[in-house]
Structure 1
Amino acid sequence: MSEKSIPVERMRSEVALAEPYIIRISSLYDARGIHDVSRPHRLNFSALIYITEGEGVHYIDHQRYTVRTGTLLTLGRNQIHSFAKNRSVDGYVLPFNCTFLSSASNDPYFDVMIAALSHINCLPSIGDDIDHLFSTMAAEFASTSEFKVEIIRGLLRSIMLKSVVPAFKAHYDDAPPVVTSNEFYRLKHFVDSHFSDRPSSLDIALALGKSVKQLDKLAKSHAGESVKELVDGRVLLEAKRLLAFSQYSIADIAAQLGFNEATNMTKFFKRHTDVSPKDFRQLCRMGLRQK
């Protein structure tokens, strides 16, 4: 991997793709070292981080969060995060493949849980009922029960549906409704996988076997945006991540994101943020991160 790029952390085994694991924050620091855990890195999976003692800070994308006993952090796939350079907290890290959340192919809650993971990154203080659910789930990882995986899935879904999803729906007017299919997840997954190709609405419709009208209706009903706006939003998010955390030049970033010229990316970036890529990068390096 190029030294200019953002490190990618993947699930540690094929088994972990189907069966999540849990680790103490203190054990993570001991196993990987301060330099490794405090270096911004992109997750190729989802994760919950629950603080059980202490007070400190945690970084997710362009935000710095103060964390303390009772704080729950959530991370969606492709988000960038880092632990503090000086460990002052302990708790649990639960990495999992996002598909682990699904109870069935037509799970009515899957889309909204996935959306909530990457939008609600910090719940400053969860209640005793959620603390109990997390403690029960952490203990279940030591179980020898033949139902262990399903019990953990159920507890994880309960934590999501009792805390993270309600927070998402309370803070975002465009929170997706409860639906009976995972069609929006398929659309989001395609955009996540192909955004750097700058696919048109027609390209995506053909790939997913839908009409442009059907896809735009799906996107509008779940995110309040058109398919083009979903693609533009993902390109913008990646531009911000690369500007903030990589050492690539602005011209290199423009090329990676499918722009013919760096000036085209600059116009695109300024249109959406009112600042230039150069100024955004400078603000991030000064610690003045923006959303």
Structure 2
Amino acid sequence: MALIGQPAGDGAASAPAPGWAGVGTVTLRELSDLPDLTAARRSDHHVLVLVTVGHGQHEIDFRAYPCRPGTLLWARPGQVSRFGGNAGLDAIVVCWEPTAVAEVADDPALLDGGIGPAYWQLAGEDEDAVINEVSQLVVDCQRHRSGTLAAGLLRHQLAVLLLRIALLPGRAPAERGDAYIRFRLEVEKDFTRTRRVEEYAERMGYSVRTVTRACLAATGRSAKQVIDDRVTLEAMRLLAVTDEPIADIGRRLGFPEPTNFGRFFHREAGTSPGAFRTAQRFGPRLPAQRRPIGSDPHGRPAPRVAGEA
């Protein structure tokens, strides 16, 4: 399976592609001999991590999450992950292609949770239920390796696991008609081309005031700040996991002039693009872009879950 994506500066995939069902499982301990496991990696697959033993931390999009037994982490396609490399830490890692659930879920976007939380500390019946689903998926991934029926089984089991996660306390699926959700989806499609709130509002049939009010209610950030946050996050991802020249990254994100990109990034991230790249690879972690305290990686307030420390 294509496990965690490519580490920074690596020109080849770090592991074979996912199996025919688009679903695979492995343990963190089994991955320990991979080169640069602690390097920043960006995957085009979903990666779900259920910690089973030990303590440590795991980063998703430059935010460090504490890990102990019962910790559940979800890195979506395009996000940057980094294992802490803590001795004694083990976890079950479930990886799947974005299309793996589409055939068995009425609305895969709700299961995807693209703007949902990345971290839970499970407890009680919720922990038992998720562990049972993950354990059964591990067993069946090992037992059933070929055939249409086996593929259907694995995809349905994955869908059940994701539905259980969607039903965790504080994890109600977002309504697609919600103005903030619609705005975020539109921004995701086009943030490299335009940062003008007016364009997105017109496309949605809303006023700028309505969109801004929705963003403030959901994140405490204005609509323009939400767009800038998304652009900054993409810049951070590209700086961390590629060797692409900084000027080229700026142009890709809509900044023809490198100086304009540098000023924008410094304002949003608090450091220069070059310093951020260097620190991500060789030095201490720099703080992620500015977000409301207690928010998820996409700026939405992160709900507390039963048993969360």
Sequence identity (%): 22
Greater alpha carbon shift after TM alignment, 215-224 vs 86-95: 215-224
Root mean square deviation of aligned Cα: 4.0
Match of 2:106 among 100, 104, 107: 104
Q: Which residue of 2 aligns with 1:159?
A: 165
AA matched with 1:24: T
Looking at structure 1, the residues matched to 188 and 35 of structure 2 have their Cα atoms a distance apart, in angstroms, of: 29
Give unpaired runs (5+ residues) of structure 2.
1-5, 141-148, 289-309
TM-aligned CA deviation for residue 205 of structure 1: 5.1
CA displacement 1:222-257 (0-9 Å, x = unmatched): 445454333211111112223334333332322222
AA matched with 2:52: T
Counting only pairs closer than 5 Å after superposition, residues 1-291 of structure 1 correspond to structure 2 as 4=9, 12=18, 15-16=21-22, 20-27=23-30, 29=31, 33-35=33-35, 37-85=37-85, 88-96=88-96, 100=101, 104-105=106-107, 110=110, 113-117=113-117, 121-123=118-120, 125-141=121-137, 142=139, 149-150=155-156, 152-162=158-168, 165=171, 179=175, 181=177, 185=181, 187-204=183-200, 210-213=205-208, 216=212, 219-220=215-216, 222-284=218-280, 285-291=282-288
Looking at structure 1, the residues matched to 11 and 179 of structure 2 have their Cα atoms a distance apart, in angstroms, of: 30
AA matched with 2:287: Q
Higher percent of residues as helix: 1
CA displacement 1:105-149 (0-9 Å, x = unmatched): 599xx39943223xxx444x4213233112221243246897764
Per the normalisation by structure 2, the TM-score is 0.67
AA matched with 2:27: R
TM-aligned CA deviation for residue 286 of structure 1: 1.7
AA matched with 1:210: G
Looking at structure 1, the residues matched to 196 and 259 of structure 2 have their Cα atoms a distance apart, in angstroms, of: 21
Q: Secondary structure at the match of 2:115?
A: helix
TM-aligned CA deviation for residue 160 of structure 1: 3.7
TM-aligned CA deviation for residue 87 of structure 1: 6.0
Give unpaired runs (5+ residues) of structure 1.
167-176
Quick check: 2:18–2:97 contact (8 Å CA) kept in 1? Answer: no
160 and 243 in structure 1: CA distance in 2 versus 1, 3 angstrom threshold? same
Looking at structure 2, the residues matched to 268 and 148 of structure 1 have their Cα atoms a distance apart, in angstroms, of: 45
Greater alpha carbon shift after TM alignment, 261-270 vs 273-282: 273-282
TM-aligned CA deviation for residue 64 of structure 1: 4.1
